[in-house]
A = this chain, B = another copy of it.
Amino acid sequence: MAARNQTAAVIGAGDFIGAAIAKKLAAEGFTIFVGRRNGDKLAPLVKEIEVGGGRVFGRSLDARKEEEVVSFLSDADKQAPLEVCVFNIGANVNFPLLETTERVFRKVWEMACYSGFLAGREAARLMLQHGRGSIFFTGATASLRGGVGYAAFASAKFGLRAVAQAAARELWPENIHVAHLIIDSGVDTEWVRERIKEREGQAALDNLDPNRLMPPMAVAEAYWQLYQQPRSAWVFEQEIRPFGEKW
């Protein structure tokens, strides 16, 4: 691994996906800035990356606060030019429309859409000075489909996708690759496994088809493919799903 004089920021490294992205980018030589609420929970990830020879900074970050996003990304850019910014905050909740409180609706939007706008805008501001960069947003099935019980979550994810589209149309000509990666599948995380256990029982979990859930590292690899694309053939959006998934 050759170190690069470039920084990659991962906003929303609280789950397995963000951690996998951080590890992949560290392994490719980037200095990593990872942010999440309760930054102390980042300690194991930071340690794992450092043991592997990577360079990483873990920070507490409430990405719904403009000033925190500004300082997180500008600090990252001071270490080395900000080259990659991945916005990876989800807020997957399911409530019937009538039980969706205004508080839930607003909070899910602030986490999954509004903070993505702030991250994209601020990353763009820094990257425009360097004349290059990649800004990636993590989407979900709910980015394209407002299903039963998903008024709040889908609304936020649809909104984030629009931000990504507008940003891409404005920033691509400036040599900044904006892309939107839609994960149309369950991902193999503790949270997803817990839900399977709740719904289907311990036996279902014990006998889980290894191909049913997407490994977090596969998401990281998908981002790495996007990063490597030549600017003569950029992709804005792609949907990934396991080979056995129904769609």
Contact = CB atoms under 8 A, between A and B. Distances in A.
Interface stretch (A34-42, A74-82, A161-169): A161-169
A59 to B, nearest CB: 20
A124 B99 CA distance: 11
Interface in A131-165: 142, 145-152, 154-165
A146 B162 contact: yes
Contacts of A218: 230, 232-233
A161 B243 CA distance: 19
Best-buried of A118, A165, A232, A234 by chain B (most CB within 10 Å): A232
| Identical chains bound together, number | 4
A169 B146 contact: yes
Contacts of A154: 162-163, 165-166
A57 interface: no
A151 B163 contact: yes
B172 A244 contact: yes
A125 interface: yes
Contacts of A211: 231-232
A247 B97 contact: no
A68 to B, nearest CB: 12
Interface of A: 66, 96-98, 100, 102, 105-106, 109, 113-114, 117-118, 120-121, 124-125, 128, 142, 145-152, 154-173, 175, 177, 185, 211, 214-215, 218-219, 221-222, 225, 228-245, 247
